[in-house]
Amino acid sequence: MRQPSTRIVELRPAVLALKKLGDGPRSHTLLLNAHHQKLKSNMQGLSLSSTSYGGAYIAALSQLVFSSIAQAASDSLAVFSEEPAYTSELVTWAVKQTEAFAQLLKRHVLASSAAAGSLRVAAECVHICLGHCSLLEDRGLCLSPVLLKHFRPFLEQALYSNLKRIEQSSAALAAADDWMLLYPPVGSRLMGSTSSLTTMSQNQPKLSSSAHRFNSMVQELLEDMVPLETLQLDGPALEGILQAFNSYVTILMNAVPGSAETEENLEGSRHKLVRMAETEAQQLALLANASLLADELLPRAAMKLLPLQQGQQANRPMETPKRSSDRGNRVPEPSREWKRRLQRSVEQLRDSFCRLHALDLIFTEDGDTRLNAQMYTSMDGNLDPEWFPSPILQELFTKLTTLANLATDIFVGRERFATILLMRLTETVILWLSDDQNFWAEIEGPNPLGPLGLQQFYLDMEFVLLFTSQGRYLSRNLHQVIKNIIARAIDAVTATGIDPYSVLPEDDWFAEVAQIAIKMLTGKANFSNVEQDVTSPNQSARSSHGSETGFSQHYRE
């Protein structure tokens, strides 16, 4: 460090002479006082030459303070060696100078920065000071804890102010978000320079405006934390980002029309002002926002904190292997749990989406149930039924097909998320049927299911199995639930004294009719070569790739 005193050569001989006269303690105190007065004078001169507490001034002031402490330590060692009494006084004096410096920065820089949420300004200030302070460790003076004790509360305040701003800003944008997925704005940190726009566009995330804002603010926050590795604020930062993400997902859930969250938050919610996602494409965009943030963008941003801790270990060669191992193992576990907690929020949004669309299918606008037992119990009065999947299950197939087509464009590269979404929506509808006590009370009641009703029910369930299998979103859970409710319906007919297997057609007939229904509903039907009425259970059924054997094979795979 640069020597702050121009008369230091005169100071040492005078102190040494006083020590030789037998007054060592007084001479050491005078030495430290002389350095203090010189430091005070230099600080006043520096203040007069600067109009603000900017980065350059803070750097000059920090260098001045710690170079003065270093020079005092050098003089003390040269004159008094390492005698414990003098070393203790030196440490006490150095701590006092450091605390006075910290108080000065707190008043003029950190307090205002923390109140304004200017984490970058506060972080740069602390980084500069800790850098100068660390150079004293070679002289045996570890003053960093003194600085951290004073600085940490202000940095935490700035961090929390930033996190609060992220919540508020994304909520404000969500109030006007049109839920259209776009690439990052040109010039943003994510997009980079305009010259690389064409080559980079395919690798950029497509989000709606509020999600882009949320993501960019998180990225900026973590970048601003780069200089703060010694403060170990990574834990509070990640926890705060998680809470901000949960808050944003709540906003997305409130944007789903008719969601339970919207109804619960109509009164007293600070997030109730949100633009509704009216179309299916907009609702899928909500899921795209949450899933892309949770799966990729936020974990990738959080990795910026990991190299800091690894780099901190690399800069500490004297650290014991045990301590290195402990610190190295500290990061991954919370990170995995952190990602799981992000995913749970996304799952809540997905469940809200599935519940909305399932209820739209199951209930009319007046609240009547469309998926009811009468659909099947009334069929045995019909002498000539037309065998085709029930209207509500046709609508389910059409909705799932529409969502699958939309998801192809929205969830590019994340097909698994789209597949799970379709699985969960189908499961939501079928599980509702499985658990509906009123439905089964009628099926198994005084006017139970008859042979024709059982055949229609069986056809409906085989139809669901076929289109979910062909769409590759037939889950093991759904397959088992359908098997169970078919068995329960068969038992209901058996209880009436009728042998259900004597009245049901072959399995291939159900698969064939279901396949024809899929082709008709998708506009791919071609009956020019059909020579028999395959929808009649009395006709011999042709084998089909959608037969029960095919389902079993797909299920095992």
**Span 362-381, mean pLDDT?**
90
- Whose tokens are 């029960």? That residue is 548
Contact (CB, 8 A) for 506 and 534: no
- Whose tokens are 């500069």? That residue is 128
Between 143-157, 220-234, 320-334, the lowest mean confidence (pLDDT) is in 320-334
* pLDDT at residue 514 in the model: 97
Ramachandran sector of residue 200 (left: φ over 0; alpha: ψ -120 to 50; beta: rest): alpha
Residues 6+ apart with CB under 8 A from 21: none
The DSSP code for 371 is S
Between 150-159, 181-190, 509-518, the lowest mean confidence (pLDDT) is in 181-190
pTM for the structure as a whole: 0.81
* Rounded Cα–Cα distance for residues 211 and 528 (Å): 51
Q: Alpha-carbon dihedral of residues 480, 486, 489, 490, nearest 10 degrees?
A: -120
- Tens digits of per-residue pLDDT, 387-441? 999 999 999 999 999 999 999 999 998 999 999 999 999 999 999 999 999 999 9
- Whose tokens are 């705060």? That residue is 240
- Tens digits of per-residue pLDDT, 179-221? 999 999 765 655 444 444 444 455 678 999 999 999 999 999 9
Contact (CB, 8 A) for 110 and 151: yes
* pLDDT at residue 536 in the model: 55
Closest CA to 207 of 414, 53, 416, 385: 414
* pLDDT at residue 111 in the model: 82
* pLDDT at residue 483 in the model: 97
pLDDT band at 480 (very low <50, low <70, confident <90, very high): very high
* Rounded Cα–Cα distance for residues 243 and 345 (Å): 10
Burial class (CB in 10 A: 0-12, 13-18, 19+), 75: buried
The ranges assigned to domains in the chain are 8-142, 163-191+204-360, 366-556
Most trustworthy range by pLDDT among 72-81, 153-162, 479-488: 479-488
The DSSP code for 363 is B
Q: Is 284 helix (H, G, I), strand (E, B) or coil?
A: helix
* pLDDT at residue 547 in the model: 37
Report how far apart the first and last C-alpha atoms of the chain are (Å, whole number): 70
Say if residue 72's pLDDT is above 70.
yes
pLDDT band at 124 (very low <50, low <70, confident <90, very high): confident
**Span 490-496, mean pLDDT?**
94
* pLDDT at residue 272 in the model: 56
Residues 6+ apart with CB under 8 A from 323: none
- Tens digits of per-residue pLDDT, 274-283? 999 999 999 9
